[in-house]
Structure 1
Amino acid sequence: MPSPLRVAVVGGGQIARHAHLPLFRELAEEVEVVAVVDATEELARAFADEFGLAHASADLDRTLAEVRPGLVVITSPPALHSAQAVAALRAGAWVWCEKPPCLSLAEYDAMLAAEREGGPFAAIVFQQRFGSSSQHLRRLIAEGALGDPYVAHCQTTWFRDDAYYAVPWRGRWESEGGGPAMGLGIHQMDLMLELLGDWSEVRAMAARLARDVETDDVTTALVRFSSGALATVVNSALSPRQVSHLRIDLAGATLELTHLYGYSNADWTYTPARDAAEIAWPPPEDVPSSHAAQLRGLLDDLRAGRRPRGSGEDGRRSLELVTAMYKAALTGRTVRAGEIGPGDPFYRSLHGDTPGWQPA
């Protein structure tokens, strides 16, 4: 790959302006944003003028052919993610795609099919995984230093008003995919899976209580993990006091994280069990969870030609859990890991291709 790495941004909205472009400027010696693709030529040109980019277009295929970026950052609405990622991968570019990854497992598997051995690969922005405290705890749990996991609680209770849902693609099955489990809580659930590993079954409920949307605005679930641990999951767009919360009780300790959109070591509480073996806490470094922490690892993987974390089956796991939650909520039955595949209507959409669905 050339140095600096050439980057194209697809989607010139708020997340690109406030999260990605400032980050790429910080890493100017390693990466150079050379192009933007947006819904119209006018929008693309306005973004390019604001950030001093030479290439602006509404045509992704033409941009890929003319600019030949090494990395494509997808920050467009979710309904566009899969097709745009596939186009970039087929053009030989690596992909870093904002959450939610896409609208369905079928769309995600289409992205996987466009990857090639040794790259390019498509990674999903799951920055909650990459704080130093979570990485430290992940190693301790995997090594058994904290004992068996027993109980977890994963909570994303945020507030999104009617103005938020006035954006045309939000709150609609065909353009956002689902409600707060998909658009808000997937980050915290991904972190839960990062620490506790594979899940085995889920039961769930969903409701539309206050917002004028097609999807739900509250989801709850009970999750059993392969280890036997049990978790409750709550996702809400209706909660005036906003919080992101994760608690895990293991034989040797209780781990508790309270934050909103990002955390540092100080946001974790570590409570050892009585007579538990002493461990190193907090970790010696304090790297906050952030886009920057994930991107640095992604760039290392790109140069080495190895699959990055948050891609492939590793990136699919959170979307599969969200899909299972909706299937469980809409069918009233327990859903087991691995059961949603081609031929299952929930493989193609989170509402199971039931346009008239009404949540309880």
Structure 2
Amino acid sequence: MTRRVVVIGAGLASAAHLTALRAVDADVVGVVTRDETRAAAARRLAPQARIFPSLDAAAALDADTAVVVTPPSSHLAVASALAERGLDLVIDKPLAASVHEAQAIVDVAERSGVRAAVTLQHRYKEAARRARQLLSDGAIGTLRSATVTVPLWRPDSYYAEAGRGTWDRDGGGVLITQAIHTLDLYLSLAGPARSVVATASTSRGRLEAEDTIHLLIDHGTHAASVTASTAAWPGGTETIHLYGDAGQLRLLGDSLVQIGDSVRPVVDGSVDASGPDPLSMTAWFRSLYEDVFTSWASGAAPLSDARSGLPVHAVIDAAYRSAAAGATPVTVSEERHDTVSDERESACQS
């Protein structure tokens, strides 16, 4: 059955969603935006879609699925309104600007009887799939440690958009906006985190949240160091290096290498996902939508089920609280609680 989709929001990420939806033969019946420039761009990608200035008008369409591509701070209100109308939800990352709002979105979807997914599309790259299989097969023995690096560059013009990189709109900086993909993928491979120690800073005077952050993650049986930045000119490819007692796996972008007695290339990928344009990841978005729609049709949960996005939110929340408290260890919990506000902002003033 062809999915009838309404897309809420037409910002930077919407082009990748619209392109992927077209590739999986979804029927995009409406797009919500008040910006004429963005509306024109949406029309080029989905010429059959009607453009609406408000959520209420679009929600009245005969659609079964809504794709939410609005700022993170609006996700809970938007998702709640759509869920009440019975629309299944695909929510662009992050699920929300805080862990308690992310949990609330999962709750409202389940209470309303609708399905919800989150676009953590890095899970769908071939290197990730093969790494999961190799770990399951015991290819590197018992995981002992890991390093994760996300060395990105975003110029000042990127942060010129109102609200970008603020606590109120985005929920933070590089960790929740850019590095969430790599961190989520790492957690999906390495398992639940127990506690986090973090330090955060910003090198840009007008940027409210962090553009650089360092984490030490304790999993109980192993540990990882994570570094992420949007101040690492000229930028580079994200890396996940897993060290076991019988070998290693290194994911570099969408490539994968197995290291033991010799170095064996497993996946030789070519996608560069380090820039701000998500169109470079269209194939991963397409795989995500194929999985979401196929899984929903069969009554199964997709790989990107919204509830599966809560662990990375819990780690991000713990990291921000740790940084705000001067690199104090913070236990990772997915339970609802108010995240710090003034305190976490102070962590980025160093």
2:24 aligned residue: 27
Pairwise CA distance, 1:6: 0.2
Q: Does the 8 Å CA contact 2:140/2:249 hold for their aligned counterparts?
A: no
Change (3 A) 1:187 1:151: same
Q: Distance in 2 between matches of 1:220 and 1:48?
A: 37
Pairwise CA distance, 1:169: 1.6
Residues 219-240 of structure 1 show CA distances to partners (whole Å, capped at 9, x for unaligned) of 10100114x1110000101001
Q: Does the 8 Å CA contact 1:118/1:305 hold for their aligned counterparts?
A: no
| Pair 1:357 & 2:335 matched | no
Q: Distance in 2 between matches of 1:286 and 1:354?
A: 41
Q: What are the residue-to-residue correspondences of 1:169-180 with 2, within 5 Å?
A: 169-180=163-174
Among 2, 5, 9, the alignment partner of 1:4 is 2
1:240 aligned residue: 233
Q: Distance in 2 between matches of 1:209 and 1:45?
A: 34
Letter in 2 for 1:304: S
Change (3 A) 1:27 1:224: same
**Structural RMSD (CA):** 2.7
2:276 aligned residue: none
Letter in 1 for 2:346: W
Change (3 A) 1:194 1:211: farther
Change (3 A) 1:150 1:252: same
1:55 aligned residue: 50
Q: What are the residue-to-residue correspondences of 1:90-129 with 2, within 5 Å?
A: 90-116=84-110, 119-129=113-123
Q: Distance in 2 between matches of 1:97 and 1:208?
A: 28
Q: Distance in 1 between matches of 2:169 and 2:222?
A: 34
Q: Distance in 2 between matches of 1:273 and 1:317?
A: 34
Moved more, 286-295 or 197-206: 286-295
| Pair 1:329 & 2:323 matched | yes
Q: What are the residue-to-residue correspondences of 1:204-223 with 2, within 5 Å?
A: 204-223=198-217
| Pair 1:282 & 2:266 matched | yes
Q: Does the 8 Å CA contact 1:119/1:307 hold for their aligned counterparts?
A: no
- Give the TM-score of the pair, scaled to structure 1: 0.85
Percent of aligned pairs with the same amino acid: 25
1:272 aligned residue: 260
SS at match of 1:219: strand
Among 142, 146, 166, the alignment partner of 1:148 is 142
Pairwise CA distance, 1:296: 1.0
SS at match of 1:239: coil
SS at match of 2:162: coil
Pairwise CA distance, 1:356: 6.2
Q: Distance in 1 between matches of 2:345 and 2:246?
A: 48
Q: Does the 8 Å CA contact 2:199/2:347 hold for their aligned counterparts?
A: no
Change (3 A) 1:176 1:96: same
- Give the TM-score of the pair, scaled to structure 2: 0.87
Q: Does the 8 Å CA contact 1:154/1:247 hold for their aligned counterparts?
A: yes
Pairwise CA distance, 1:171: 1.6
SS at match of 1:163: helix
SS at match of 2:151: strand
2:11 aligned residue: 13
Among 218, 222, 247, the alignment partner of 1:229 is 222
Residues 97-132 of structure 1 show CA distances to partners (whole Å, capped at 9, x for unaligned) of 111221011211221121238952221111111123
Moved more, 82-91 or 48-57: 48-57
